């Protein structure tokens, strides 16, 4: 797949929409994708992170996408991770 095919696609955790892919982070030393930057839905930002606003961005670790843990469909990226487990895979976006 090409990176542009990921952009603005929905991301689901056990079929509940949690956000959209906004960026792909690559480690420049290893040339490997390390994270997907997600813009979380307001409900997910509030329930998982305690944020009180929408548009919160977090980095989703690639470990959440391991074979058998995630699948790609026409609707977007489906993670076999519950909403309660998301905090293990998310980290704040670093300010530049």
Task: Encode 55-87: b = buried (16+ Cβ within 10 Å), e = exposed.
Answer: ebebbbebebbeeeebeeeeebbbbebeeeebe
Residue 96 has what pLDDT? 53
Between 34 and 3, residue with greater pLDDT: 34
| Residue in 2, 19, 3 with CA at minimum distance from that of residue 78 | 19
Per-residue pLDDT tens digits for 29-88: 999 889 999 999 988 888 888 887 767 899 999 888 876 778 888 889 999 888 888 888
Residue 49 has what pLDDT? 83
Between 41 and 94, residue with greater pLDDT: 41
CATH of 3-92, one of 3.90.1150.10, 3.40.309.10, 3.90.50.10, 2.60.40.420: 3.90.50.10
């Amino acid at each position: 797949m090409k990176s542009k095919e990921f952009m603005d696609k929905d991301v689901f955790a056990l079929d509940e929409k949690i956000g959209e892919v906004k960026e792909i982070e690559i480690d420049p030393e290893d040339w490997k994708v390390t994270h997907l930057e997600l813009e979380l839905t307001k409900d997910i930002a509030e329930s998982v992170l305690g944020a009180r606003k929408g548009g919160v961005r977090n980095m989703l670790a690639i470990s959440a996408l391991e074979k058998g843990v995630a699948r790609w469909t026409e609707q977007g990226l489906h993670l076999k991770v519950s909403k309660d487990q998301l905090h293990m895979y998310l980290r704040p976006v670093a300010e530049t």
